[in-house]
A and B are shown apart, each in its own frame.
Chain A
């Protein structure tokens, strides 16, 4: 059992228009796990990540990253939003999007320079997208766009990575490439938290899992808690058949 806690969520409640979408979430994520957050649509998976990252304001509760508030620990955290959350017709190139990952370390006003460009190129290389560096982002396939987003997170050189459905709408090759990179990150001692949809691949990809449906159902090692009981509690229907197939 790892003992250091990377992310700690206490009594977190988040509401949209006074309707709670997350209710009293307590969660401890140990350092160095590759964790899936699973749950049905509308369970608050993305909301949980956004609240941890301070993008959404919770109505109650608190979040800490290595024991301190997120605002003090930004440099330790990288975020990959859902691919569909941005306008891919935006006039910019793959390299430029990856460079945006370096903006956080630069702070306000300072411009990215050669050092940032070099880091961005290295990240592009890691995700196999170097040949596409000057391509306009709308000219990339869905899988390539997701790799660009991953590269942008890698360039942040963080300790904790949050990813919102990185496998959505990508081809099988990209999915394998992405999960291999995530596994490498875990090997390097990083903590990776992924909103995930495909229950079939949870045991294969992840070593830690959180079941979420407005409330937290369970969290722990995949081998201990990824079972029919928790799946049924989370999804409300019996998952036995679909998982054992």
Chain B
């Protein structure tokens, strides 16, 4: 690996971390689309900033662009508050309007500046090492690295300081307000951080990948944990992994780095979506099958409990009585036997003590919905886990 390669991966990783942190809260606040809106509508801010400063990494440009991001949020909320259109419609109205202003501004001045729409949408990580920060004649590294590094430091500082406030206002804005943590202050704080991060990452990865880096790692992490801190940590890990893996994928395929990073993010999400231990598709399907079996088992046990007469409990007639296919009857019979819930004597099925207790408890739960007594059953049976 040469220096430029290391620098690119470092920049991509820092961008991924800086995006994953606000991204986690955006996902939990169901505001993923807002990041899409911000990433597009900061374009006019960037263009105007560029006219003034002629430097894509200038702090003035960053602030101007972040301001357009905030304006987007305010406009969306204003339109939404009129009650005439819903939030998604408001987002769909605001950001294309602002974005198109940016596109026109670029087209009108295309001859003077090296900023084109392709670069804006997809970014160009590969070029970031060429734009160096020189302090007192000494080369201290790529400007993009310093820029995103500073933004990341601020983001991490804010996260540590206001983690509790972010958590409570995201979970329960009403409680936050009654406790004196203004949800509006926290909301606009988060929006400001998201906007600044978006601008900082924009030059390196472009408008589309910024959204992917904010939302995909957080969404993937959400499927894997029930703990907010862990969700943040996982999101950061997924972001960094995708950044580095994406870089090497691009290297092998000789393709766009940002495109490859996004692809890795997508694949990562798909894998977790399929295989996540409790929320993944396969786990959910397995659970549903299990639940179906357990309902069958309960139906079967209930039948035995309700019928003392032997004719109703003969092995060969069971499937006729409950109106099931033979295969299903057999599997349920085996399951009940394995759990010591029934005994079979001369082809007559009877409930054991355990089976009898289990049935009573389960029925009682289903009728009363009081779940204190069946707490111990939750570990063994999906049926009672709600």
Residue of B165, B168, B175, B375 with most chain A CB atoms under a 10 A cut-off: B175
Give chain B residues whose Cβ lies under 8 Å from the Cβ of A86.
171-172
Total A-B residue contacts, Cβ distance less than 8 Å: 87
B306 interface residue (CB < 8 Å to A): no
**10 closest Cβ pairs, A-B complex:** A104-B179, A136-B226, A79-B178, A81-B174, A55-B177, A53-B178, A86-B172, A90-B171, A91-B226, A100-B168
Give chain A residues whose Cβ lies under 8 Å from the Cβ of B163.
111
Q: A60-95, CB under 8 A of B: which get 1 and which 0?
A: 000000000001001001010100011100111100
Q: Separation in Å of the B386 CB from the closest CB of chain A?
A: 6
Give chain B residues whose Cβ lies under 8 Å from the Cβ of A138.
226
Question: Do the beta carbons of B226 and A93 come within 8 Å of each other?
Answer: yes
Question: Do the beta carbons of A141 and B386 come within 8 Å of each other?
Answer: yes
A216 interface residue (CB < 8 Å to B): no
Q: Separation in Å of the A148 CB from the closest CB of chain B?
A: 11
By size class, the interface of chain B is 35 or more
Tell me the chain A residues, 20-49 only, with Cβ under 8 Å from chain B: none
Q: Separation in Å of the B313 CB from the closest CB of chain A?
A: 34
B227 interface residue (CB < 8 Å to A): yes
Give chain B residues whose Cβ lies under 8 Å from the Cβ of A100.
167-168, 171-172, 175
Q: Which of B83, B171, B222, B385 contacts A139 (CB 8 A)?
A: B385
Question: Do the beta carbons of A53 and B177 come within 8 Å of each other?
Answer: yes
B254 interface residue (CB < 8 Å to A): no
Give chain A residues whose Cβ lies under 8 Å from the Cβ of B161.
109
Main secondary structure of the interface of B (DSSP, over half): helix
A90–B163 alpha-carbon span in the complex (Å):
15
B180 interface residue (CB < 8 Å to A): yes
Tell me the chain B residues, 227-255 only, with Cβ under 8 Å from chain A: 227-228, 230-231
A103 interface residue (CB < 8 Å to B): yes
B89 interface residue (CB < 8 Å to A): no
Give chain A residues whose Cβ lies under 8 Å from the Cβ of B179.
74, 103-104
B164 interface residue (CB < 8 Å to A): yes
Question: Do the beta carbons of B181 and A92 come within 8 Å of each other?
Answer: no
A131 interface residue (CB < 8 Å to B): yes
Give chain A residues whose Cβ lies under 8 Å from the Cβ of B231.
91
A244 interface residue (CB < 8 Å to B): no
A225 interface residue (CB < 8 Å to B): no
Q: Which of B83, B171, B375 contacts A87 (CB 8 A)?
A: B171
Question: Do the beta carbons of B174 and A85 come within 8 Å of each other?
Answer: yes
Residues of A within 8 A of B (CB): 17, 50, 53-55, 71, 74, 77, 79, 81, 85-87, 90-93, 97, 100, 103-104, 106-109, 111-112, 131, 136, 138-139, 141, 144, 152, 171, 173
Q: B363-376, CB under 8 A of A: which get 1 and which 0?
A: 00000111110010
Q: Separation in Å of the A134 CB from the closest CB of chain B?
A: 10
A106–B226 alpha-carbon span in the complex (Å):
25
Give chain B residues whose Cβ lies under 8 Å from the Cβ of A106.
164
Closest to B83 in A: A17
Tell me the chain B residues, 52-88 only, with Cβ under 8 Å from chain A: 83
Instruction: Please name 16 further chain A to chain B contacts, defined as beta carbons within 8 Å, in addition to the given A55-B178, A108-B165, sorted by A numbering.
Output: A55-B177, A81-B175, A86-B171, A90-B171, A90-B228, A91-B230, A103-B165, A104-B179, A106-B164, A112-B164, A131-B375, A139-B385, A141-B369, A144-B371, A171-B368, A171-B370
- Offer 9 A-B interface pairs, CB within 8 angstroms, sorted by A: A53-B178, A74-B179, A74-B180, A87-B28, A87-B171, A92-B167, A104-B178, A109-B162, A152-B175
Question: Do the beta carbons of A74 and B375 come within 8 Å of each other?
Answer: no
B225 interface residue (CB < 8 Å to A): yes
Question: Do the beta carbons of A92 and B171 come within 8 Å of each other?
Answer: yes
Question: Do the beta carbons of B226 and A54 come within 8 Å of each other?
Answer: no
Closest to A74 in B: B180
Question: Do the beta carbons of A50 and B386 come within 8 Å of each other?
Answer: no
A92–B175 alpha-carbon span in the complex (Å):
16
A155–B224 alpha-carbon span in the complex (Å):
30
Q: Which of A50, A91, A103, A107 contacts B222 (CB 8 A)?
A: A91
B263 interface residue (CB < 8 Å to A): no
Question: Do the beta carbons of B174 and A104 come within 8 Å of each other?
Answer: no
Give chain B residues whose Cβ lies under 8 Å from the Cβ of A107.
180
Give chain B residues whose Cβ lies under 8 Å from the Cβ of A131.
375
A131–B373 alpha-carbon span in the complex (Å):
13
Give chain A residues whose Cβ lies under 8 Å from the Cβ of B361.
none
A81–B169 alpha-carbon span in the complex (Å):
13
Question: Do the beta carbons of B164 and A91 come within 8 Å of each other?
Answer: no
Q: Separation in Å of the B78 CB from the closest CB of chain A?
A: 13
Q: Separation in Å of the A123 CB from the closest CB of chain B?
A: 15
Give chain A residues whose Cβ lies under 8 Å from the Cβ of B168.
100, 103
Closest to B386 in A: A141
Give chain A residues whose Cβ lies under 8 Å from the Cβ of B177.
53-55
Question: Do the beta carbons of B178 and A54 come within 8 Å of each other?
Answer: yes
A198–B170 alpha-carbon span in the complex (Å):
31
Closest to A112 in B: B164
Q: Which of B178, B222, B369 contacts A171 (CB 8 A)?
A: B369
Give chain A residues whose Cβ lies under 8 Å from the Cβ of B171.
86-87, 90, 92, 97, 100
A104–B30 alpha-carbon span in the complex (Å):
25
Question: Do the beta carbons of A91 and B174 come within 8 Å of each other?
Answer: no
Tell me the chain B residues, 129-150 only, with Cβ under 8 Å from chain A: none
A104–B169 alpha-carbon span in the complex (Å):
12
